[in-house]
């Protein structure tokens, strides 16, 4: 069974640009969550989607948004990028909300 797939693996952007990250969950998993990992703040929750609906949202500005498609694939978008958005962005999927979460390899975003 294929794991969680995140694309791209690495991304370099400049301040003010926007970016879209993609996450394909494990086959059959309908719950997808996103996390941001930085050295200073650690792992922080961004959003949770289940059946195309956002169920939970973390404490991030409105520049961070996401969506989930009918095939459970999810995207997150960050607009007007800032230097502080440089981070490892991790996506996780689970069979149901509250179930064991399995993470992808992440997208490492660098803002110049």
Partner 1 sequence: GIQVEQSPPDLILQEGANSTLRCNFSDSVNNLQWFHQNPWGQLINLFYIPSGTKQNGRLSATTVATERYSLLYISSSQTTDSGVYFCAVPSTTGANSKLTFGKGITLSVRP
CB of 87 to partner 1, least distance (A): 11
| Radius of gyration for the chain, computed over Cα atoms and rounded to the nearest angstrom | 13
CB of 29 to partner 1, least distance (A): 10
Using the minimum distance from each CB to partner 1, give the nearer residue, 19 or 90.
90
42 binds partner 1 (CB under 8 A): yes
Site string for partner 1, 77-96 (x = CB under 8 A): -----------x-x-x-x-x
Q: Which of 33, 36, 68, 74 binds partner 1 (CB under 8 A)?
A: 33
CB of 22 to partner 1, least distance (A): 17
Check if the beta carbon of residue 20 is closer than 8 Å to that of residue 76.
yes
Q: Could you tell me which residues are beta bridge partners of residue 49? A: 32, 54
CA distance 11 to 21: 9
58 binds partner 1 (CB under 8 A): yes
Q: What is the DSSP letter of 4?
A: -
For the beta carbon of residue 95, count every other beta carbon within 10 angstroms: 15
Q: Which of 18, 56, 77, 80 binds partner 1 (CB under 8 A)?
A: 56
CA distance 17 to 96: 34
Using the minimum distance from each CB to partner 1, give the nearer residue, 45 or 75.
45
Q: What is the DSSP letter of 52?
A: T
């Amino acid at each position: 069974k294929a794991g969680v797939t995140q694309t791209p693996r690495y991304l370099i952007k400049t301040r003010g640009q926007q970016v879209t990250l993609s996450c394909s969950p494990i086959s059959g998993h309908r719950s997808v969550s996103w996390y941001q990992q930085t050295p200073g703040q650690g792992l922080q929750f961004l959003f949770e989607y289940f059946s195309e609906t956002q169920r939970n949202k973390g404490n991030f500005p409105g520049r961070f948004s996401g969506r989930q498609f009918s095939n459970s694939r999810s995207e997150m978008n960050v607009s007007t990028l800032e230097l502080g958005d440089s981070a490892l962005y991790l996506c996780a999927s689970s069979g149901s909300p509250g179930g064991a979460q399995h993470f992808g390899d992440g997208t490492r975003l660098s803002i110049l």
